[in-house]
Chain A
Amino acid sequence: MNRRSPKKTAVLMAGVLLLLFVLQFILPAYHHSTFSKIMVLASYAMGFNILLGYTGLMSLGHAMFFSTGMYATGISVYHFGYTGIPALGIGVLCTVLVSMLLGLVALRTSGVSFLIVTLMFGQAVFLSILYFDQFTLGQDGFTLTKELEPLVLGNASYSYTDPTFKYNAAWFLFALSLVITNILIISPIGRVLIAIRENEERTQMLGYNTYLYKLFAMTLSGALSGLAGSVHALLFSYVGATFAEIHHSIAPLLWTLLGGVGTTLGPLLGTGIMHYLIDFTSGWTSAYLLIVGAILVLLVIGAPQGLMGLVRQKRLPWLP
Protein backbone atom coordinates (compact mmCIF):
# COMPACT_ATOMS: atom_id res chain seq x y z
CA MET A 1 0.00 0.00 0.00
CA ASN A 2 2.78 2.24 0.92
CA ARG A 3 5.04 2.06 -2.07
CA ARG A 4 2.85 1.29 -5.00
CA SER A 5 4.42 -0.16 -8.03
CA PRO A 6 1.99 -0.43 -10.93
CA LYS A 7 4.57 -2.02 -13.23
CA LYS A 8 5.60 -4.83 -10.89
CA THR A 9 1.93 -5.39 -10.02
CA ALA A 10 0.95 -5.71 -13.68
CA VAL A 11 3.78 -8.15 -14.35
CA LEU A 12 2.90 -10.26 -11.31
CA MET A 13 -0.80 -10.40 -12.15
CA ALA A 14 -0.13 -11.24 -15.79
CA GLY A 15 2.31 -13.92 -14.65
CA VAL A 16 -0.21 -15.52 -12.32
CA LEU A 17 -2.91 -15.51 -14.97
CA LEU A 18 -0.56 -16.93 -17.58
CA LEU A 19 0.56 -19.65 -15.20
CA LEU A 20 -3.02 -20.62 -14.41
CA PHE A 21 -3.83 -20.66 -18.11
CA VAL A 22 -0.88 -22.86 -19.03
CA LEU A 23 -1.51 -25.24 -16.12
CA GLN A 24 -4.56 -26.65 -17.88
CA PHE A 25 -2.29 -28.33 -20.41
CA ILE A 26 -0.10 -29.87 -17.75
CA LEU A 27 -2.40 -30.83 -14.89
CA PRO A 28 -3.73 -34.38 -14.65
CA ALA A 29 -7.51 -34.67 -14.96
CA TYR A 30 -8.22 -34.71 -11.24
CA HIS A 31 -6.28 -31.55 -10.45
CA HIS A 32 -7.52 -29.97 -13.64
CA SER A 33 -11.07 -30.12 -12.34
CA THR A 34 -10.01 -29.12 -8.80
CA PHE A 35 -8.36 -26.02 -10.20
CA SER A 36 -11.53 -25.05 -12.06
CA LYS A 37 -13.40 -25.24 -8.79
CA ILE A 38 -10.73 -23.30 -6.90
CA MET A 39 -10.74 -20.48 -9.43
CA VAL A 40 -14.51 -20.08 -9.20
CA LEU A 41 -14.51 -20.15 -5.40
CA ALA A 42 -11.49 -17.83 -5.27
CA SER A 43 -13.52 -15.31 -7.29
CA TYR A 44 -16.19 -15.56 -4.63
CA ALA A 45 -13.55 -14.91 -1.96
CA MET A 46 -12.24 -11.96 -3.96
CA GLY A 47 -15.68 -10.42 -3.93
CA PHE A 48 -15.74 -10.91 -0.18
CA ASN A 49 -12.26 -9.42 0.13
CA ILE A 50 -13.35 -6.16 -1.48
CA LEU A 51 -15.58 -5.61 1.51
CA LEU A 52 -13.40 -7.03 4.28
CA GLY A 53 -9.93 -6.34 2.93
CA TYR A 54 -10.37 -3.01 1.22
CA THR A 55 -13.28 -1.42 3.06
CA GLY A 56 -12.88 -2.96 6.50
CA LEU A 57 -16.41 -4.36 6.72
CA MET A 58 -16.76 -7.94 7.89
CA SER A 59 -19.83 -9.66 6.55
CA LEU A 60 -21.07 -13.00 7.83
CA GLY A 61 -23.76 -13.32 5.18
CA HIS A 62 -21.95 -13.42 1.89
CA ALA A 63 -23.47 -16.78 1.03
CA MET A 64 -26.66 -14.83 0.36
CA PHE A 65 -24.99 -13.12 -2.61
CA PHE A 66 -23.40 -16.30 -3.90
CA SER A 67 -26.66 -18.20 -3.59
CA THR A 68 -28.72 -15.35 -5.06
CA GLY A 69 -26.56 -15.49 -8.17
CA MET A 70 -26.63 -19.25 -8.16
CA TYR A 71 -30.38 -19.58 -7.73
CA ALA A 72 -31.34 -16.73 -10.05
CA THR A 73 -29.25 -18.29 -12.81
CA GLY A 74 -30.28 -21.83 -11.98
CA ILE A 75 -33.99 -21.04 -11.82
CA SER A 76 -33.84 -19.09 -15.08
CA VAL A 77 -32.41 -22.14 -16.77
CA TYR A 78 -34.41 -24.81 -14.96
CA HIS A 79 -37.86 -23.24 -14.87
CA PHE A 80 -37.78 -20.71 -17.67
CA GLY A 81 -35.53 -22.42 -20.19
CA TYR A 82 -33.02 -19.61 -20.58
CA THR A 83 -29.63 -20.39 -22.04
CA GLY A 84 -26.44 -19.82 -20.06
CA ILE A 85 -25.50 -16.26 -20.92
CA PRO A 86 -28.87 -14.56 -20.31
CA ALA A 87 -29.23 -16.63 -17.13
CA LEU A 88 -25.84 -15.35 -16.04
CA GLY A 89 -27.00 -11.80 -16.71
CA ILE A 90 -30.13 -12.38 -14.63
CA GLY A 91 -28.00 -13.80 -11.82
CA VAL A 92 -25.74 -10.76 -11.71
CA LEU A 93 -28.65 -8.35 -11.95
CA CYS A 94 -30.39 -10.02 -9.03
CA THR A 95 -27.29 -9.96 -6.84
CA VAL A 96 -26.64 -6.31 -7.63
CA LEU A 97 -30.17 -5.61 -6.52
CA VAL A 98 -29.93 -7.73 -3.37
CA SER A 99 -26.54 -6.40 -2.32
CA MET A 100 -27.58 -2.81 -2.92
CA LEU A 101 -30.79 -3.23 -0.92
CA LEU A 102 -28.93 -4.97 1.88
CA GLY A 103 -26.29 -2.26 1.81
CA LEU A 104 -28.92 0.47 2.05
CA VAL A 105 -30.19 -0.98 5.31
CA ALA A 106 -27.25 -2.86 6.82
CA LEU A 107 -24.75 -0.03 6.38
CA ARG A 108 -26.72 2.06 8.82
CA THR A 109 -25.12 -0.17 11.43
CA SER A 110 -21.41 -0.73 11.93
CA GLY A 111 -18.97 -3.06 13.63
CA VAL A 112 -20.53 -5.91 15.52
CA SER A 113 -24.07 -4.93 14.59
CA PHE A 114 -23.15 -5.01 10.91
CA LEU A 115 -21.85 -8.54 11.35
CA ILE A 116 -25.00 -9.72 13.04
CA VAL A 117 -27.29 -8.00 10.55
CA THR A 118 -25.51 -9.63 7.61
CA LEU A 119 -25.62 -12.97 9.42
CA MET A 120 -29.35 -12.56 9.99
CA PHE A 121 -30.11 -11.60 6.42
CA GLY A 122 -27.95 -14.45 5.18
CA GLN A 123 -30.02 -16.79 7.29
CA ALA A 124 -33.23 -15.20 6.00
CA VAL A 125 -32.14 -15.91 2.42
CA PHE A 126 -31.28 -19.50 3.35
CA LEU A 127 -34.71 -19.95 4.97
CA SER A 128 -36.43 -18.39 1.96
CA ILE A 129 -34.75 -20.96 -0.25
CA LEU A 130 -36.18 -23.70 1.96
CA TYR A 131 -39.57 -22.01 2.13
CA PHE A 132 -40.15 -21.38 -1.58
CA ASP A 133 -39.45 -24.98 -2.43
CA GLN A 134 -41.72 -25.07 -5.48
CA PHE A 135 -39.03 -23.00 -7.19
CA THR A 136 -35.92 -24.02 -5.33
CA LEU A 137 -36.77 -27.67 -4.63
CA GLY A 138 -35.85 -27.13 -0.99
CA GLN A 139 -32.73 -28.38 0.73
CA ASP A 140 -31.69 -30.77 -2.05
CA GLY A 141 -31.86 -28.29 -4.90
CA PHE A 142 -31.69 -29.38 -8.52
CA THR A 143 -29.28 -30.16 -11.33
CA LEU A 144 -29.11 -28.39 -14.66
CA THR A 145 -27.60 -31.22 -16.66
CA LYS A 146 -30.66 -31.77 -18.83
CA GLU A 147 -31.95 -28.22 -19.06
CA LEU A 148 -28.79 -26.29 -19.83
CA GLU A 149 -28.15 -25.94 -23.53
CA PRO A 150 -24.58 -25.68 -24.77
CA LEU A 151 -23.06 -22.27 -25.35
CA VAL A 152 -23.00 -21.33 -29.03
CA LEU A 153 -20.25 -18.96 -30.11
CA GLY A 154 -20.27 -18.39 -33.86
CA ASN A 155 -20.20 -21.84 -35.39
CA ALA A 156 -18.78 -23.61 -32.39
CA SER A 157 -20.83 -25.01 -29.56
CA TYR A 158 -19.51 -25.74 -26.11
CA SER A 159 -20.99 -27.86 -23.38
CA TYR A 160 -20.73 -26.17 -19.97
CA THR A 161 -19.65 -29.38 -18.33
CA ASP A 162 -16.83 -30.10 -20.77
CA PRO A 163 -13.62 -30.00 -18.68
CA THR A 164 -11.71 -27.73 -21.07
CA PHE A 165 -14.56 -25.28 -21.32
CA LYS A 166 -15.06 -25.42 -17.57
CA TYR A 167 -11.42 -24.64 -16.87
CA ASN A 168 -11.28 -21.74 -19.30
CA ALA A 169 -14.57 -20.27 -18.15
CA ALA A 170 -13.36 -20.48 -14.55
CA TRP A 171 -10.06 -18.90 -15.58
CA PHE A 172 -11.90 -16.10 -17.34
CA LEU A 173 -14.05 -15.42 -14.27
CA PHE A 174 -10.98 -15.40 -12.06
CA ALA A 175 -9.10 -13.08 -14.43
CA LEU A 176 -12.07 -10.71 -14.51
CA SER A 177 -12.27 -10.60 -10.70
CA LEU A 178 -8.53 -10.08 -10.40
CA VAL A 179 -8.51 -7.24 -12.91
CA ILE A 180 -11.51 -5.57 -11.30
CA THR A 181 -9.94 -5.79 -7.83
CA ASN A 182 -6.63 -4.42 -9.04
CA ILE A 183 -8.24 -1.55 -10.90
CA LEU A 184 -10.40 -0.77 -7.90
CA ILE A 185 -7.53 -0.47 -5.47
CA ILE A 186 -5.42 1.84 -7.61
CA SER A 187 -8.44 3.98 -8.44
CA PRO A 188 -9.42 7.06 -6.42
CA ILE A 189 -12.47 5.16 -5.15
CA GLY A 190 -10.22 2.41 -3.83
CA ARG A 191 -8.15 5.02 -2.04
CA VAL A 192 -11.28 6.27 -0.26
CA LEU A 193 -12.35 2.72 0.62
CA ILE A 194 -8.96 2.02 2.17
CA ALA A 195 -9.22 5.31 4.05
CA ILE A 196 -12.59 4.16 5.42
CA ARG A 197 -11.03 0.88 6.49
CA GLU A 198 -8.25 2.70 8.29
CA ASN A 199 -10.26 5.45 9.97
CA GLU A 200 -13.82 6.09 8.96
CA GLU A 201 -14.42 9.13 11.11
CA ARG A 202 -11.36 10.88 9.71
CA THR A 203 -12.51 10.09 6.19
CA GLN A 204 -15.83 11.72 6.93
CA MET A 205 -14.08 14.75 8.33
CA LEU A 206 -12.24 15.08 5.04
CA GLY A 207 -15.59 15.60 3.36
CA TYR A 208 -16.40 12.15 2.05
CA ASN A 209 -19.87 10.72 2.34
CA THR A 210 -18.59 7.38 3.55
CA TYR A 211 -22.02 5.76 3.45
CA LEU A 212 -22.14 6.05 -0.34
CA TYR A 213 -18.66 4.64 -0.74
CA LYS A 214 -19.48 1.71 1.51
CA LEU A 215 -22.67 1.13 -0.45
CA PHE A 216 -20.62 1.02 -3.63
CA ALA A 217 -18.17 -1.45 -2.10
CA MET A 218 -21.00 -3.62 -0.84
CA THR A 219 -22.70 -3.66 -4.23
CA LEU A 220 -19.51 -4.48 -6.11
CA SER A 221 -18.57 -7.11 -3.55
CA GLY A 222 -22.02 -8.67 -3.75
CA ALA A 223 -22.04 -8.55 -7.54
CA LEU A 224 -18.69 -10.35 -7.82
CA SER A 225 -19.77 -12.98 -5.29
CA GLY A 226 -23.07 -13.41 -7.12
CA LEU A 227 -21.29 -13.73 -10.46
CA ALA A 228 -19.18 -16.49 -8.96
CA GLY A 229 -22.38 -18.18 -7.76
CA SER A 230 -23.95 -17.92 -11.24
CA VAL A 231 -20.88 -19.33 -12.94
CA HIS A 232 -20.72 -22.09 -10.32
CA ALA A 233 -24.30 -23.07 -11.13
CA LEU A 234 -23.58 -23.26 -14.85
CA LEU A 235 -20.22 -25.02 -14.72
CA PHE A 236 -21.05 -27.53 -12.02
CA SER A 237 -24.67 -27.98 -13.06
CA TYR A 238 -25.95 -27.98 -9.53
CA VAL A 239 -27.95 -25.58 -7.42
CA GLY A 240 -28.47 -26.40 -3.75
CA ALA A 241 -29.23 -24.88 -0.37
CA THR A 242 -25.86 -25.79 1.16
CA PHE A 243 -24.44 -22.85 -0.78
CA ALA A 244 -26.68 -20.53 1.23
CA GLU A 245 -25.82 -21.92 4.65
CA ILE A 246 -23.83 -20.00 7.24
CA HIS A 247 -20.83 -22.25 6.60
CA HIS A 248 -20.70 -21.00 3.07
CA SER A 249 -20.58 -17.43 4.41
CA ILE A 250 -17.72 -18.34 6.70
CA ALA A 251 -15.80 -20.11 3.93
CA PRO A 252 -14.68 -16.96 2.06
CA LEU A 253 -13.75 -15.42 5.41
CA LEU A 254 -11.49 -18.38 6.12
CA TRP A 255 -9.97 -18.39 2.62
CA THR A 256 -9.35 -14.67 2.69
CA LEU A 257 -7.88 -14.66 6.19
CA LEU A 258 -5.59 -17.54 5.35
CA GLY A 259 -4.41 -16.13 2.04
CA GLY A 260 -4.16 -12.57 3.28
CA VAL A 261 -6.85 -9.97 3.93
CA GLY A 262 -6.50 -6.97 1.69
CA THR A 263 -4.18 -8.62 -0.81
CA THR A 264 -5.36 -9.27 -4.34
CA LEU A 265 -3.87 -12.75 -4.61
CA GLY A 266 -4.62 -13.84 -1.05
CA PRO A 267 -8.10 -15.23 -1.76
CA LEU A 268 -6.76 -17.50 -4.51
CA LEU A 269 -3.95 -18.76 -2.31
CA GLY A 270 -6.25 -19.32 0.67
CA THR A 271 -8.92 -21.09 -1.36
CA GLY A 272 -6.34 -23.31 -3.01
CA ILE A 273 -4.59 -24.24 0.22
CA MET A 274 -7.80 -25.04 2.08
CA HIS A 275 -9.06 -27.14 -0.79
CA TYR A 276 -5.93 -29.22 -1.00
CA LEU A 277 -5.51 -29.39 2.75
CA ILE A 278 -8.95 -30.91 3.21
CA ASP A 279 -8.40 -33.12 0.20
CA PHE A 280 -5.05 -34.26 1.53
CA THR A 281 -6.16 -34.92 5.09
CA SER A 282 -9.36 -36.68 4.05
CA GLY A 283 -7.20 -39.77 3.58
CA TRP A 284 -6.70 -40.25 7.30
CA THR A 285 -9.38 -38.15 8.97
CA SER A 286 -12.86 -36.97 8.21
CA ALA A 287 -12.53 -34.36 10.92
CA TYR A 288 -12.04 -31.50 8.51
CA LEU A 289 -14.11 -29.12 10.67
CA LEU A 290 -11.40 -29.50 13.27
CA ILE A 291 -8.81 -28.36 10.74
CA VAL A 292 -10.95 -25.43 9.68
CA GLY A 293 -11.55 -24.42 13.28
CA ALA A 294 -7.93 -24.78 14.30
CA ILE A 295 -6.74 -22.75 11.32
CA LEU A 296 -9.19 -19.96 12.12
CA VAL A 297 -8.04 -19.81 15.74
CA LEU A 298 -4.34 -20.02 14.89
CA LEU A 299 -4.68 -17.35 12.22
CA VAL A 300 -6.20 -14.74 14.48
CA ILE A 301 -3.67 -15.48 17.20
CA GLY A 302 -0.53 -15.86 15.12
CA ALA A 303 -0.89 -14.32 11.69
CA PRO A 304 -3.91 -12.08 11.28
CA GLN A 305 -2.41 -10.64 8.11
CA GLY A 306 -2.45 -14.03 6.36
CA LEU A 307 0.11 -15.57 4.03
CA MET A 308 0.30 -12.88 1.35
CA GLY A 309 0.19 -10.30 4.11
CA LEU A 310 3.28 -11.91 5.62
CA VAL A 311 5.01 -11.85 2.24
CA ARG A 312 4.16 -8.17 1.90
CA GLN A 313 5.41 -7.45 5.41
CA LYS A 314 8.69 -9.32 5.10
CA ARG A 315 9.71 -9.18 1.46
CA LEU A 316 7.60 -7.30 -1.04
CA PRO A 317 6.15 -4.07 0.37
CA TRP A 318 4.69 -3.15 -3.02
CA LEU A 319 2.48 -6.22 -3.15
CA PRO A 320 -1.08 -5.14 -3.88
Chain B
Amino acid sequence: MNSLLKTEGLSKHFGGLQAVEGVDLDLNEGEIRAVIGPNGAGKTTLVSLLSGRLRPSSGRIHLNQKDITSFSASRKVQFGIVYTFQVTSLFFNLSCYENVAIAVQGCRAREEGFLPRRESDIRLNVRKVLEQVGIQENEETIAGNLAYGHQRLLEVAMGLASRPKLLILDEPTQGLAESEIKHFCSLIRGLSDSMTILLIEHNMQVVLELAEQITVMDQGRILAEGTPSEIEANIAVQESYLGG
Protein backbone atom coordinates (compact mmCIF):
# COMPACT_ATOMS: atom_id res chain seq x y z
CA MET B 1 0.00 0.00 0.00
CA ASN B 2 1.15 3.49 -0.78
CA SER B 3 1.48 6.02 1.93
CA LEU B 4 -0.68 9.09 1.31
CA LEU B 5 -0.05 11.30 4.29
CA LYS B 6 2.77 11.19 6.77
CA THR B 7 3.52 13.41 9.72
CA GLU B 8 6.78 13.58 11.65
CA GLY B 9 6.92 14.90 15.19
CA LEU B 10 3.92 17.12 14.65
CA SER B 11 3.38 19.41 17.65
CA LYS B 12 1.22 22.34 18.57
CA HIS B 13 1.15 24.31 21.75
CA PHE B 14 -1.02 27.22 22.78
CA GLY B 15 0.97 29.25 25.24
CA GLY B 16 2.04 26.70 27.82
CA LEU B 17 -0.56 24.15 26.82
CA GLN B 18 0.73 21.23 24.77
CA ALA B 19 -2.27 20.31 22.61
CA VAL B 20 -0.49 17.96 20.21
CA GLU B 21 2.95 16.58 20.84
CA GLY B 22 5.28 14.61 18.60
CA VAL B 23 2.63 12.88 16.54
CA ASP B 24 3.87 10.53 13.82
CA LEU B 25 0.92 9.52 11.73
CA ASP B 26 1.03 7.43 8.57
CA LEU B 27 -2.08 7.10 6.44
CA ASN B 28 -2.23 4.70 3.51
CA GLU B 29 -4.15 5.39 0.34
CA GLY B 30 -7.71 4.20 0.53
CA GLU B 31 -7.81 3.33 4.20
CA ILE B 32 -10.39 4.43 6.73
CA ARG B 33 -8.63 5.56 9.86
CA ALA B 34 -10.36 6.49 13.06
CA VAL B 35 -8.77 8.71 15.69
CA ILE B 36 -10.23 8.21 19.14
CA GLY B 37 -9.43 9.49 22.59
CA PRO B 38 -10.97 11.36 25.49
CA ASN B 39 -12.05 14.97 25.23
CA GLY B 40 -9.06 17.27 25.11
CA ALA B 41 -6.79 14.54 23.73
CA GLY B 42 -5.84 16.81 20.84
CA LYS B 43 -7.80 15.10 18.07
CA THR B 44 -9.40 18.21 16.66
CA THR B 45 -6.16 20.12 17.00
CA LEU B 46 -4.39 17.36 15.10
CA VAL B 47 -6.79 17.47 12.16
CA SER B 48 -6.75 21.26 12.24
CA LEU B 49 -3.00 21.03 11.71
CA LEU B 50 -3.47 18.58 8.86
CA SER B 51 -6.09 20.73 7.17
CA GLY B 52 -4.16 23.96 7.64
CA ARG B 53 -6.60 25.73 9.94
CA LEU B 54 -3.76 25.87 12.45
CA ARG B 55 -0.02 26.14 11.88
CA PRO B 56 2.06 23.52 13.70
CA SER B 57 4.60 24.68 16.29
CA SER B 58 7.03 22.05 15.00
CA GLY B 59 7.13 18.91 12.93
CA ARG B 60 6.36 18.22 9.29
CA ILE B 61 3.45 17.07 7.16
CA HIS B 62 4.02 15.22 3.89
CA LEU B 63 1.39 14.44 1.30
CA ASN B 64 2.59 11.96 -1.35
CA GLN B 65 6.17 12.70 -0.21
CA LYS B 66 5.63 16.42 -0.77
CA ASP B 67 6.21 18.71 2.17
CA ILE B 68 2.99 20.67 2.71
CA THR B 69 3.58 21.75 6.31
CA SER B 70 3.41 25.46 5.73
CA PHE B 71 0.58 25.50 3.18
CA SER B 72 -2.47 27.59 3.94
CA ALA B 73 -5.83 25.92 4.42
CA SER B 74 -7.02 26.80 0.95
CA ARG B 75 -3.84 25.44 -0.64
CA LYS B 76 -4.17 22.22 1.29
CA VAL B 77 -7.64 21.84 -0.16
CA GLN B 78 -6.13 22.36 -3.57
CA PHE B 79 -3.77 19.48 -2.83
CA GLY B 80 -6.66 17.26 -1.84
CA ILE B 81 -6.98 17.53 1.95
CA VAL B 82 -10.57 18.38 2.71
CA TYR B 83 -11.95 19.02 6.18
CA THR B 84 -15.57 18.84 7.23
CA PHE B 85 -16.38 20.85 10.27
CA GLN B 86 -17.20 19.46 13.68
CA VAL B 87 -19.50 22.39 14.27
CA THR B 88 -21.59 22.42 11.13
CA SER B 89 -20.32 25.25 8.94
CA LEU B 90 -22.47 25.85 5.90
CA PHE B 91 -23.65 28.79 3.85
CA PHE B 92 -26.79 28.86 5.95
CA ASN B 93 -28.61 31.47 3.89
CA LEU B 94 -28.07 29.73 0.57
CA SER B 95 -29.77 26.70 -0.93
CA CYS B 96 -28.26 23.23 -0.75
CA TYR B 97 -27.66 23.51 -4.45
CA GLU B 98 -25.60 26.68 -4.01
CA ASN B 99 -23.70 25.19 -1.08
CA VAL B 100 -22.53 22.27 -3.14
CA ALA B 101 -22.14 24.32 -6.32
CA ILE B 102 -19.56 26.53 -4.60
CA ALA B 103 -17.56 23.41 -3.74
CA VAL B 104 -17.96 21.86 -7.21
CA GLN B 105 -16.92 25.07 -8.89
CA GLY B 106 -13.80 25.31 -6.75
CA CYS B 107 -12.86 21.76 -7.58
CA ARG B 108 -13.37 22.29 -11.32
CA ALA B 109 -11.29 25.43 -11.17
CA ARG B 110 -8.42 23.49 -9.59
CA GLU B 111 -8.59 20.69 -12.10
CA GLU B 112 -8.97 22.84 -15.17
CA GLY B 113 -7.13 25.96 -14.09
CA PHE B 114 -10.03 28.37 -14.54
CA LEU B 115 -13.52 28.88 -13.20
CA PRO B 116 -16.13 26.92 -15.19
CA ARG B 117 -18.31 28.96 -17.47
CA ARG B 118 -21.23 26.67 -18.02
CA GLU B 119 -23.73 26.20 -15.22
CA SER B 120 -24.91 22.93 -16.78
CA ASP B 121 -21.58 21.22 -15.99
CA ILE B 122 -21.83 22.33 -12.41
CA ARG B 123 -25.45 21.27 -12.10
CA LEU B 124 -24.61 17.73 -13.18
CA ASN B 125 -21.96 17.39 -10.50
CA VAL B 126 -24.04 19.01 -7.80
CA ARG B 127 -26.93 16.63 -8.39
CA LYS B 128 -24.61 13.63 -8.42
CA VAL B 129 -23.14 14.54 -5.05
CA LEU B 130 -26.48 15.39 -3.47
CA GLU B 131 -27.79 12.03 -4.63
CA GLN B 132 -24.71 10.28 -3.28
CA VAL B 133 -25.39 11.50 0.24
CA GLY B 134 -29.14 11.14 -0.21
CA ILE B 135 -30.49 14.67 0.09
CA GLN B 136 -31.31 15.27 -3.58
CA GLU B 137 -34.92 16.15 -2.82
CA ASN B 138 -33.68 19.10 -0.72
CA GLU B 139 -31.81 20.74 -3.58
CA GLU B 140 -33.71 24.03 -3.30
CA THR B 141 -34.01 24.09 0.49
CA ILE B 142 -32.13 26.84 2.29
CA ALA B 143 -29.36 25.13 4.22
CA GLY B 144 -30.31 26.84 7.47
CA ASN B 145 -33.79 25.31 7.26
CA LEU B 146 -32.56 21.73 6.89
CA ALA B 147 -32.93 19.22 9.69
CA TYR B 148 -29.70 18.79 11.65
CA GLY B 149 -29.00 15.34 10.24
CA HIS B 150 -29.37 16.65 6.73
CA GLN B 151 -27.07 19.55 7.49
CA ARG B 152 -24.39 17.05 8.49
CA LEU B 153 -24.94 15.23 5.22
CA LEU B 154 -24.71 18.48 3.29
CA GLU B 155 -21.43 19.15 5.04
CA VAL B 156 -20.18 15.77 3.80
CA ALA B 157 -21.57 16.51 0.33
CA MET B 158 -19.51 19.69 0.17
CA GLY B 159 -16.47 17.68 1.19
CA LEU B 160 -17.13 15.11 -1.52
CA ALA B 161 -17.75 17.77 -4.14
CA SER B 162 -14.19 18.93 -3.56
CA ARG B 163 -13.01 15.48 -4.71
CA PRO B 164 -10.56 14.96 -1.87
CA LYS B 165 -7.65 12.58 -1.69
CA LEU B 166 -8.01 12.72 2.08
CA LEU B 167 -11.39 13.46 3.61
CA ILE B 168 -11.26 14.46 7.26
CA LEU B 169 -14.52 13.99 9.12
CA ASP B 170 -14.63 15.61 12.55
CA GLU B 171 -17.26 13.88 14.70
CA PRO B 172 -19.64 13.43 11.79
CA THR B 173 -22.26 11.38 13.64
CA GLN B 174 -22.56 13.62 16.66
CA GLY B 175 -26.22 14.47 17.19
CA LEU B 176 -27.50 12.06 14.55
CA ALA B 177 -30.33 9.59 15.14
CA GLU B 178 -29.67 5.83 15.08
CA SER B 179 -31.12 5.38 11.58
CA GLU B 180 -29.15 8.33 10.26
CA ILE B 181 -25.96 6.84 11.66
CA LYS B 182 -26.57 3.64 9.75
CA HIS B 183 -27.11 5.51 6.52
CA PHE B 184 -24.00 7.50 7.21
CA CYS B 185 -21.85 4.42 7.79
CA SER B 186 -22.85 2.84 4.53
CA LEU B 187 -22.17 6.12 2.75
CA ILE B 188 -18.66 6.33 4.16
CA ARG B 189 -17.87 2.71 3.39
CA GLY B 190 -18.85 3.31 -0.21
CA LEU B 191 -16.42 6.22 -0.45
CA SER B 192 -13.31 4.42 0.67
CA ASP B 193 -12.61 3.07 -2.82
CA SER B 194 -11.93 6.53 -4.13
CA MET B 195 -10.39 8.33 -1.16
CA THR B 196 -8.67 8.04 2.18
CA ILE B 197 -10.81 8.85 5.17
CA LEU B 198 -9.69 10.16 8.53
CA LEU B 199 -12.45 9.99 11.06
CA ILE B 200 -12.63 11.52 14.50
CA GLU B 201 -15.39 9.77 16.33
CA HIS B 202 -16.70 9.24 19.83
CA ASN B 203 -19.27 6.62 18.93
CA MET B 204 -17.32 3.34 19.33
CA GLN B 205 -19.91 1.41 17.34
CA VAL B 206 -19.27 3.60 14.31
CA VAL B 207 -15.53 3.34 14.82
CA LEU B 208 -15.54 -0.42 15.07
CA GLU B 209 -17.80 -0.74 12.08
CA LEU B 210 -15.91 1.57 9.75
CA ALA B 211 -12.27 1.81 10.71
CA GLU B 212 -9.57 -0.39 9.30
CA GLN B 213 -6.99 1.17 11.58
CA ILE B 214 -7.48 3.02 14.83
CA THR B 215 -5.20 5.60 16.39
CA VAL B 216 -5.72 6.31 20.06
CA MET B 217 -4.68 9.70 21.37
CA ASP B 218 -4.35 11.00 24.89
CA GLN B 219 -2.91 14.27 26.13
CA GLY B 220 -1.67 15.22 22.69
CA ARG B 221 0.25 12.01 22.05
CA ILE B 222 -0.43 8.80 20.21
CA LEU B 223 -1.09 6.14 22.80
CA ALA B 224 -1.67 3.15 20.58
CA GLU B 225 -2.31 2.20 17.00
CA GLY B 226 -3.70 -0.95 15.40
CA THR B 227 -6.66 -2.78 13.95
CA PRO B 228 -9.94 -2.56 15.80
CA SER B 229 -9.49 -5.95 17.38
CA GLU B 230 -5.97 -5.11 18.54
CA ILE B 231 -7.18 -1.89 20.06
CA GLU B 232 -10.08 -3.53 21.77
CA ALA B 233 -7.65 -5.89 23.38
CA ASN B 234 -5.32 -3.19 24.45
CA ILE B 235 -5.62 -2.71 28.14
CA ALA B 236 -3.86 0.60 28.28
CA VAL B 237 -6.48 1.99 26.03
CA GLN B 238 -9.27 0.56 28.05
CA GLU B 239 -7.97 2.32 31.07
CA SER B 240 -7.58 5.65 29.44
CA TYR B 241 -10.62 5.67 27.26
CA LEU B 242 -13.11 2.86 27.40
CA GLY B 243 -12.89 2.57 31.16
CA GLY B 244 -12.23 6.20 31.96
Contacts and interface: CB of A to CB of B under 8 A. Distances in A.
A86 B74 CA distance: 41
B83 interface: yes
Given A3-B140, A207-B162, A210-B74, A188 B105 contact: yes
B47 to A, nearest CB: 12
B101 to A, nearest CB: 7
Interface in B95-118: 95, 98, 101-103, 105-107, 109-110, 115-117
B180 to A, nearest CB: 22
A58 B116 CA distance: 29
B51 interface: yes
A198 B93 contact: yes
B175 to A, nearest CB: 19
Contacts of A206: 77, 102-103, 106, 158, 162
Nearest to B142: A2
A277 to B, nearest CB: 30
A191 B89 contact: no
Interface in A82-135: none
A31 interface: no
Interface in B65-89: 72-75, 77-78, 82-83, 85, 89
A201 interface: yes
**Size class of the contact patch on chain B:** 20 to 34
B243 to A, nearest CB: 36
B91 A207 contact: no
Contact of A207 (B92, B93, B106): B106
A205 B107 contact: no
Interface string A57-86: 000000000000000000000000000000
A208 B78 CA distance: 8
Interface in B104-148: 105-107, 109-110, 115-117, 140, 142
A198 B94 contact: yes
A204 interface: yes
Interface string A218-257: 0000000000000000000000000000000000000000
The 4 A-B pairs of least Cβ separation, nearest first, read A207-B77, A188-B115, A198-B91, A195-B102
A310 B110 CA distance: 38
B53 interface: yes
A2 B105 contact: no
A231 to B, nearest CB: 30
Contacts of A201: 89
A33 interface: no
Contact of A202 (B90, B95, B105, B140): B90
Which of B94, B95, B115 has the largest number of chain A CB atoms within 10 A?
B94
A42 interface: no
A12 interface: no
A39 B214 CA distance: 65
Contacts of B140: 2-3
Nearest to A3: B140
Given A189-B115, A198-B91, A198-B92, A204 B105 contact: no
A122 B102 CA distance: 34
Given A205-B89, A207-B107, 8 more contacts: A1-B93, A1-B98, A2-B142, A3-B140, A207-B82, A207-B162, A209-B75, A210-B74
A217 to B, nearest CB: 14
Contacts of B92: 198-199
A34 interface: no
A52 B214 CA distance: 47
B94 A205 contact: no
A274 interface: no
Nearest to A212: B74
B9 to A, nearest CB: 25
A143 interface: no
B141 to A, nearest CB: 9
Contacts of A195: 91, 94, 102
Interface in A164-191: 187-189, 191
B98 A199 contact: no
Nearest to B103: A206
A207 B89 contact: no
A191 B94 CA distance: 11
A207 B78 contact: yes
B98 A191 contact: yes
A209 B78 CA distance: 10
24 contacts: A2-B94, A2-B140, A2-B142, A188-B117, A191-B98, A192-B102, A192-B105, A192-B106, A194-B94, A195-B102, A198-B92, A198-B93, A202-B91, A203-B102, A204-B72, A204-B73, A204-B77, A205-B51, A205-B53, A206-B102, A207-B75, A207-B106, A208-B74, A209-B74
A199 B103 CA distance: 13
A172 to B, nearest CB: 27
Contacts of B103: 206
Interface in A1-42: 1-3
Residue from the set B83, B93, B116 with the largest chain A CB neighbour count within 10 Å? B93
Interface string B143-158: 0000000000000001
